[in-house]
Amino acid sequence: MIKSFISRLKSRPLSDISQQQTSSIKVRERWIPILWIGLTGIVVAIMAFTVWQNRDMLLFEFATARYEYIFWTFMAYALSIWVVASGWHLIMSHLHGQDTFLTNLKIYVYTLAARRIPGTLWYIAGRAILYERCGVPKRVTSLASGVEVILSVVSGLIVGAPVLLSSFGTSPITILLFITIEVIGLSLLYPTTLKWCLARLGYQVEQNAITIPKVLLWLLIYAVMWICGGLMTYTTISILQPVPLSQIPTIIALWSLTGAIAFISFFLPHGLGVSEITLSILLSQIIPLPIAIMTAILIRLLTTIFDIMWSSLFFLEKNTVLAP
């Protein structure tokens, strides 16, 4: 029987086998987004049901909300954007992509709104197109964006480590996962390893282009970014409910941990998903769950409005090339 099966398999044209494999891959690719949308829909439905159950409390909170904190949320978010744009400038200049801070700042700000489009790579594509107009190859922009993702994850976990290792307990699995991700990230950021990876991807950098002090500076700047984002989260919660100042360090750590998890799930579809769900669960440790859910949704709404505002500055750009 086995010989007969093998002979029949050999007698089949390779084109038939190839077509079947292609068809199978297409079926799997078709079901993956459907499955993801279904799971996300279930979670969103649970969040919506929780909000509906506590609608009286939430209506009271919104009726008594301190909307002046929206201004402070905007200021904290603007500071976060300025800090991370400075980090992006250092990455691009150290990789010899673009040395002009104003140009790097403009391109970073102009592509903020693209992060809100469903998908994951739109803002990177937007950066690549704008940098190409400045003479920077798309490959350099893409590689710099990859370095940015690693920096964001590593720095986010560092800032969020106190909450990760205390609030969630010190189980061996938690510690092992944290250490594994940090070791992988730091190993990839080690100058020798990073230069080797860039060379393997077809981009050579000078010997002193990437050094340990430069990488540590990158990490410090991205850690400050997470701190600014945590302050934004604090001011957003304060719109709905007063929060003691003593909770700020915890909120900063929770926000950083949320961001790191969102970056780890970088290639999953975004939207109302990973960030909001994670942030709601984490914040529920210090504020009621309905308030945590509404805070996560409010952050998404406000930051989307702010990003559109910043990116709309692109239409004031009169130069074809974005040099200052």
Question: What CA–CA distance (Å, rounded) separates 161 from 43?
Answer: 26
| pLDDT at 301 (0 to 100) | 81
Q: How high is the pLDDT of residue 32?
A: 46
In the block, tokens 């199978």 appear at: 24
Q: Which residue has the tokens 């510690």?
A: 175
Structure confidence at residue 233 (pLDDT): 95
Q: What are the per-10-residue average pLDDT scores of the chain (324 residues)?
A: 47 49 51 52 59 65 79 94 94 85 89 71 80 85 88 90 66 74 86 85 78 91 95 93 90 90 64 72 87 86 84 66 52
The owner of tokens 């106190």 is 162
User: Counting beta carbons within 10 angstroms of the beta carbon of residue 249, is it exposed (0 to 12), middle (13 to 18) or buried (19 or more)?
Assistant: middle
Helix axes 274-283, 14-53, angle to 10 degrees: 40
Evaluate whether 95 touches 306 at the Cβ level (below 8 Å). no
CB 323 within 8 Å of CB 131:
no
Q: How far apart are CA 49 and CA 232, in angstroms?
A: 26
Q: What is the DSSP string of 129-191?
A: HHHHHTT--HHHHHHHHHHHHHHHHHHHHHHHHHHHHHTT---HHHHHHHHHHHHHHHHHHSH
Name the one residue in this structure whose structure tokens are 């579809």.
269
The pLDDT value given to residue 42:
59
Contacts 24+ apart (CB under 8 A), 283-290: 283/233, 283/237, 283/251, 283/254, 285/167, 285/254, 286/243, 286/247, 286/250, 286/251, 286/254, 287/237, 287/241, 287/243, 288/54, 288/57, 289/50, 290/50, 290/51, 290/53, 290/54, 290/57, 290/58
Give the count of beta carbons closer than 10 Å to the beta carbon of residue 257. Answer: 24
Phi-psi region of 13 (alpha: psi -120 to 50; beta: other; left: phi over 0): beta
